[in-house]
Amino acid sequence: EIVLTQSPTTMAASPGEKVTITCRASSSVSYMHWFQQKSGTSPKPWIYDTSKLASGVPDRFSGSGSGTSYSLTISSMEAEDAATYYCLQRSSYPWTFGGGTKLELK
């Protein structure tokens, strides 16, 4: 099983601040996918195939990485970005999610 480790686990950012969330895989994966989840709601697709934004995702978000290290970046934090973000790999079974990064507004 490929274990995905996200860092940080929790963080707070001020409006306008740049935010980077990292997802490290225990073995190399081809792509990384990201989901956003707000409290009490279903996860939403956010970034797929490492760097492609899902429909409706603001372009202040971006994704990058390769091999065992991937990241989600917000160029300028906004209040609506406060949520928990999860990475997902589907390069090998079982598909695995990272433990999540809770992003709060400072």
Positions touching other proteins (CB under 8 A) are 1, 33, 35, 37, 42-45, 48-49, 54, 86, 88, 90, 93-100
User: Smaller CB distance to other proteins: residue 65 or 100?
Assistant: 100
Asked whether the beta carbons of 71 and 82 are under 8 A apart, the reply is: no
Rounded Cα–Cα distance for residues 77 and 104 (Å): 10
State the nearest-atom distance from the C-beta of 93 to other proteins, in Å. 6
Output the smallest distance, CB 41 to other proteins, in A: 8
Tokens of 32: 């990384």
Residue 93 gets which letter from DSSP?
Answer: S
Nearer to other proteins, 24 or 44 (CB): 44
Cα radius of gyration (the chain): 13
Looking at beta carbons only, is 17 or 51 nearer to other proteins? 51
Q: Which is nearer to other proteins, 77 or 98 (CB)?
A: 98
- Give the separation between CA 100 and CA 4, rounded to whole angstroms: 10
Closest contact distance (angstroms) between CB of 88 and other proteins is: 7
